[in-house]
Structure 1
Amino acid sequence: MKNESQRLFTAIALPNEHKKKLRHWVEQDLNHLSFRKWSDFRDYHVTLQFLGDVATSVIPQLEQALAHAAAEHRPFTLGIGEAGFFGREQFPRVLWRGVTGQREPLDQLYQSILRATEPLGFKPEQRPYRPHITVARSYTGEEPVSASVWQSNGRSGESWVVGEFVLYATRMGQKPMYQIIQTFPLMR
């Protein structure tokens, strides 16, 4: 019998209206840029913890641990921040939008999730937590990305209340690519 597994991560899903505003920005301001992969707007999210390939048999324990983590927190507000990148500015590996608003409760939620999943064998990433919304990956253009993409021009969106986080499964080759497995309401 083969060991069934799913590629999972925890995240804050963006509300639909915010996803649509981000899609509008991509279509209006970025349509001249060449990236190998554009995120489907329905997949926009703020990753909390990437869990990797998880055995199906472990998922109930994982969900219980995540529910305990969620119960330690009350809702908070976030907003969509300015554009940024990973890699080189002119030829970015990842184009993203930052996260504004109540960053301290976001960081506390992230830490709670790490503490809850560690006893199940999930290891935190070694790099610092940098919350963001991935818009595109692997710039393929010949010309460098114009600095105007990164300049502030009031693109930040209004905030929304984060009342839950989700456990996503990755479905390679599908659109949208991420499927919600479970939702964890913030309780306190």
Structure 2
Amino acid sequence: MERDKQSSATPNSAVSPSQRLFTAIALPDEQKQKLHQWVEQNLGDLSFRKWSDLRDYHVTLQFLGDVATADIPKLEQALYQAAAEHAPFTLGIGEAGFFGRELFPRVAWRGVTGQLEPLNQLYQSILRATESLGFKPEERPYRPHITVARSYTGQQPVPPPVWQANDRIAKPWEVGEFVLYATRMGQKPMYQIIQNFPFPFQKP
């Protein structure tokens, strides 16, 4: 995965001095269900240490790390300003892929297709907005994806056909906002949306 933290409006904020936060695009329910069906059909017989809960499927934008609860309102204000620069765009679920070794992958994911330039522009806007608050962008290139499993533990290599499943598994969807997630370790789902940041220039 990627990026995480939380907001002053949440029930836990009064007792949590900091929260692990990240910004992301949440998948709609239909795309979550279709992706989960693909995972069960194509990865269900494989052994991974951790499977993403279908309710947690998302495209990470920026991982923020542990953020002091008192600083979250300022962060949210900066993110509202970043969202104000953008209009809705369309994304789709892309081909299967992995991080690490192909036969014993560290992460299994599906990529992202569609209007990738507006997605990258949104990513850059968020980086600029948060950098003024002291958040540092990652040095590695931005590679949008949807993590479905982590840490392959099988004794036999992952069959190559898994990575060749590049057919479309769900219809594209319109992205009209991004969200701020807080990580809730040990819970399912593990990510809680604490704020939504809609794009102001909505299509009629």
Corresponding position of 1:130: 143
The size of the alignment, in residue pairs, is 187
Residue 30 of structure 1, CA deviation: 1.1
1:131-175 C-alpha deviation (Å, 9 max, x unpaired): 000000000000000110011452442100000000000000000
Aligned: 1:71 with 2:56? no
Aligned: 1:53 with 2:66? yes
Q: Match for 1:65: what amino acid?
A: A
Higher mean displacement: 115-124 or 154-163: 154-163
1:59-116 C-alpha deviation (Å, 9 max, x unpaired): 0000000000000000000000010000000000000000000000000000000000
Corresponding position of 2:127: 114
Judging changes above 3 Å, is the alpha-carbon distance between structure 1 residues 119 and 153 closer, same or farther for their aligned structure 2 residues? closer
Judging changes above 3 Å, is the alpha-carbon distance between structure 1 residues 158 and 96 closer, same or farther for their aligned structure 2 residues? same
Q: Is the 8 A contact 1:43 1:178 kept in 2?
A: yes
Corresponding position of 1:173: 186
Corresponding position of 1:22: 35
Give the unaligned 5+ runs of structure 2.
Answer: 1-14
Which of 21, 29, 34 aligns to 1:8? It is 21
Could you say what secondary structure the match of 2:197 adopts? strand
Matches within 5 A, 1:137-176: 137-176=150-189
Q: Match for 1:116: what amino acid?
A: A
Q: Is the 8 A contact 1:81 1:157 kept in 2?
A: no
Q: Is the 8 A contact 1:9 1:50 kept in 2?
A: yes
Q: Is the 8 A contact 1:82 1:156 kept in 2?
A: no
Where in structure 1 do 4 or more consecutive aligned residues deviate above 2 Å?
A: none
Q: Is the 8 A contact 1:4 1:56 kept in 2?
A: yes
Q: Is the 8 A contact 1:79 1:156 kept in 2?
A: no
Aligned: 1:43 with 2:19? no
- TM-score of the superposed pair, with normalisation by structure 2: 0.90
Q: Match for 2:150: what amino acid?
A: R
The share of aligned pairs that are identical, in percent, is: 79
Task: Please give the root-mean-square deviation of Cα atoms over the aligned residues, in Å.
Answer: 1.1
Give the unaligned 5+ runs of structure 1.
Answer: none
Judging changes above 3 Å, is the alpha-carbon distance between structure 1 residues 153 and 181 closer, same or farther for their aligned structure 2 residues? closer
- TM-score of the superposed pair, with normalisation by structure 1: 0.97
